[in-house]
Structure 1
Amino acid sequence: MNIKESSIAAPRDEALNVARRGYLRYIILALIFVVTVINYADRAILSIAGTSVAQDVHLDPMQLGMVFSAFGWAYALGQVPGGWLLDRFGARRVYGCSIVLWSLFTALQGLVESLGLMAISAMLFLFVMRFALGLVEAPAFPANSRIVTCWFPTRERGTASSLFNSAQYLAVAIFTPLMAWLTASLGWQHVFFVMGGVGLALGVVWFWFYHEPHQHRRLSGAEMAHMRANGALVDMELNRKSHREPVTWHKLLQLFRHRNLWAVYIGQYCITALTYFFITWFPIYLIKERGMSILEAGFSAAIPAVCGFTGGILGGVLSDYLIRKGAHPSLARKIPFTLGMFLAMGLVLTNFVDANAAVIGLMAVAFFGKGLSAVGWATMSDIAPAGMIGLSGGVFNGLGNIAGIVTPVVIGYVVSTTGSFSDAIWFVALHCLVGLLAYAVIARRFERVVIKE
């Protein structure tokens, strides 16, 4: 065989090897991607229906901000218990129960007007429902991280993690216009009922299809061997059952004593602040500050969402590409994060333009950058202690989602007291700078943390 023939044959051989190994892990990734799309769509319903809900049950901006924050309170508080449940009972059972329960609490929110409650009682009802929603959704992202750690080799983990993390943007891109149309056509109550029903159906699919690597009948021996040889912790769930070690306070406290972990925690807090602005106040900003209708806001919000999804995928692909080219995973995670946070700071420029097209364009660039930065879960998969993947993810996401408490309330307070979103935009943009500094200055070389006995 000459050189030209061998150069052609090499890609063919690689393709055949991939085909023989199988691709079940990509089907698993597609499943958690769809679940995460629905997860974020359910969180975002109130941002689209919020104007109509507030009008019908007589909520002012501060009260609506409190309702938005209820999810963040519960979601943050539920992360460590959710991570413990994952380490104790595994992703299949915990995640499946989470899907079913969050779908029920989504549907129940649609009943608030029919109950005939006064404004303060309606606010309390919605607060409780949003709190319950956040509590039962708490295991979702630690479960995603755990599943990716089990199923994907190190050099594929960045792309896999960025894909499920980017589901939040696709949720907005697809469901925001759909929910806006349902709200305008049938009433906001129907949005909660429809999304709750979709989630319950997805829960059935989850329990039918998802199993851990060592139990999945469709996983070939070749794919299992490939995953194990290249860094996937395929035996993590098996080891969880065979020799479970108790989590002591000593071990837990070490998750708060490593500089690199704190850098990643701060980065997650900052990027989550942008997320909560986007899924709570952004459509209302377009309606109240920019004079758009509900339908216009729904379709306009989809444009930055598509850009965020594109940036999210690109961030993971770039990170994995750098690893394949020989870069240390530490550098491969830091480059897309810091570059993305720099681009996301551009959202502050919306305070200096008048045209709605310019606002959407700037937001699109900002959320492209936010998506590019979405490598935090891949970083956690790289550095979390091997025996505490679920709990580490819970701490990481719990601290990050304190932003889900702070951001909606601060924005609600600013808008209520100033009558404008200008200062709120500055508040959100500042998080981009802090996140950039966390990865660029605080973090050292990312390595897997070893827990000392």
Structure 2
Amino acid sequence: MTFESTAENTTANGAAERSAFSAAAATAKRTNVRYLILAMLFLVTVVNYADRATLSITGPVISKELGISAAEMGFIFSAFGWAYVLGQLPGGWLLDRFGSKIVYGLSIFTWSVFTLMQGTIGFLAGGAAVMMLFALRFAVGFAEAPSFPGNSRVVAAWFPGNERATASAVFNSAQYFATVIFAPLMGWLTHSFGWHWVFGVMGGLGIVMAGVWMKTVYAPKDHPRINQAELDYIAAGGGLVNMDDGKKTAVAESGAKWDYIRQLFASRMMVGIFLGQFCINAITYFFITWFPVYLVQARGMSILNAGFIASIPAICGFAGGILGGVMSDAMLRRGYSLTAARKTPIVLGMLMSMAMIACNYTDLQWIIVSLMALAFFGKGIGALGWAVMSDCAPKEITGLSGGVFNMCGNISSITTPIIIGYIIQTTGSFNGALVFVGANALIAAVSYLVIVGEIKRMELRT
């Protein structure tokens, strides 16, 4: 070998090493602002679900103090769902039209004000109390309508595909963390100071959170702390970094065109996803409305004990929620198809959720709590609907698609409290209610197995 060829090889090797070093340095310097955004989604969703659960914790005391029957309480519980469902399409359109930051921030502030106002109705009783509570819960539900479509939009914009299930699982698991943290707190406030304080504390906390949101959350291209390396990484992985760049889609400009909504319902994949979410949310709304009441009325626990014991299944749900997302993304990275990676945790989790039916066959409290913990753990694993929506929603109408998805899913927030209320009132027992909720878990599993088919990004026909 000549001296010249040796020198050329040395130079080439040095250039390759410098190139590799530069690439490594660029990778090492990549910011991780998306995790800050995810932390904000998590915290806001914790407050969101805690505000939804205020009435389930205070409900036994309010119903006794204000003379509200079980059936009336069921209708009050459902008020949130009526408004939440009605608000999904306008909420999704507003997100596509004005962006996630402003619409979501106003949503947080508004629902917190209405939560605060619920603590002022103690001077009413009977029918007047029922009407006022229904109206305020309705207002909270309408104000919260953009929240989960907003979460989905933010995740679709900020996260690449192979991190999206974990990100969605993190914000979705906030519903369980809310119970872990706030169920004991709200139980203690009710026991020590009265139920009015629960609404005051939670409403005030939400107002503060609205200010933090506005100071922290931006679109990817607008965030002052993100660098180009992270932006390129997100975009290369399929993140919709241009979602809120100021260029409005035709749908955003002209409103929620019914033809696009018709196309969503014409898709077998979407219909199966919508049905699955309806059934999964039935389990959710049992846990955040009637579950504490079940512990008090059917299992003889005190309000204070019920608040703390309700946190045990919630801890398991939180762990399951994180595990489901991590499992799904891990399967994706190991070469499994998107369909297999998303469906496997959902189906397994729903089958585990059916364990709650076994509570009808025991009176031992520790077994009941264990079975509910297993059911909640399974529900957490299977709650990947928002990750699926981030994967398959048409990119032109991510907010509107999320609104339709959430509307269909949250119809069960109307039906579940009412049906359970009537089951309890007509049978005098929670046994039928647990069978009803377990059956919803089975239907969700069947929907993903039989109806959904291949999971992929839906293309609109324009």
State TM-score, norm by structure 2. 0.93
3-state SS, counterpart of residue 210 of structure 2: helix
Alignment equivalent of 1:102, drawn from 105, 111, 123? 111
User: Which runs of 5 or more structure 1 residues have no equivalent in the other structure?
Assistant: 1-11
State TM-score, norm by structure 1. 0.95
By how many angstroms is 1:17 displaced?
A: 5.7
Partner of 1:124: 131
* 8 A Cα contact 2:96 2:248, kept in partner: no
3-state SS, counterpart of residue 234 of structure 1: coil
3-state SS, counterpart of residue 292 of structure 1: coil
Task: Choose 1 or 2 for highest CA Rg.
Answer: 2
Alignment equivalent of 1:252, drawn from 258, 261, 264? 261
Partner of 2:46: 37
User: Which runs of 5 or more structure 2 residues have no equivalent in the other structure?
Assistant: 1-20
Partner of 2:215: 208
Amino acid aligned to 2:346: F
Partner of 2:326: 317
3-state SS, counterpart of residue 371 of structure 2: helix
Q: Does 1:184 align with 2:184?
A: no
By how many angstroms is 1:240 displaced?
A: 3.8
- How many Å separate the matches in 1 of 2:346 and 2:24? 32
- How many Å separate the matches in 2 of 1:57 and 1:228? 55
Partner of 2:426: 417
* 8 A Cα contact 2:109 2:210, kept in partner: yes
* 8 A Cα contact 1:87 1:240, kept in partner: no
Q: Does 1:164 align with 2:175?
A: no
* 8 A Cα contact 1:88 1:240, kept in partner: no
Partner of 1:139: 146
- How many Å separate the matches in 1 of 2:217 and 2:350? 35
Structure 1 pair 13–221 and aligned structure 2 pair: CA distance change class (3 A): closer
- Within 5 Å, give how 1:54-69 maps onto structure 2: 54-69=63-78
Q: Aligned residues, how many?
A: 440
Root-mean-square deviation over aligned CA pairs: 1.5
Partner of 1:5: none
Deviations 1:407-427 (A, max 9, x none): 000111111121110111111
By how many angstroms is 1:245 displaced?
A: 5.4
3-state SS, counterpart of residue 237 of structure 1: coil
Q: Does 1:227 align with 2:269?
A: no
- How many Å separate the matches in 2 of 1:166 and 1:276? 14
Amino acid aligned to 1:85: L
Amino acid aligned to 1:359: I
* 8 A Cα contact 2:249 2:396, kept in partner: no
Alignment equivalent of 1:292, drawn from 291, 301, 306? 301
Task: Indicate the percent of aligned positions where both proteins have the same amino acid.
Answer: 51
Partner of 1:363: 372
Structure 1 pair 33–326 and aligned structure 2 pair: CA distance change class (3 A): same
Alignment equivalent of 2:337, drawn from 306, 324, 328? 328
Partner of 2:284: 275
* 8 A Cα contact 2:97 2:253, kept in partner: no
Alignment equivalent of 2:245, drawn from 224, 238, 249? 238
Q: Does 1:342 align with 2:351?
A: yes
Partner of 1:305: 314
* 8 A Cα contact 2:157 2:240, kept in partner: yes
By how many angstroms is 1:19 displaced?
A: 4.1
- How many Å separate the matches in 2 of 1:422 and 1:14? 61
Structure 1 pair 288–16 and aligned structure 2 pair: CA distance change class (3 A): farther
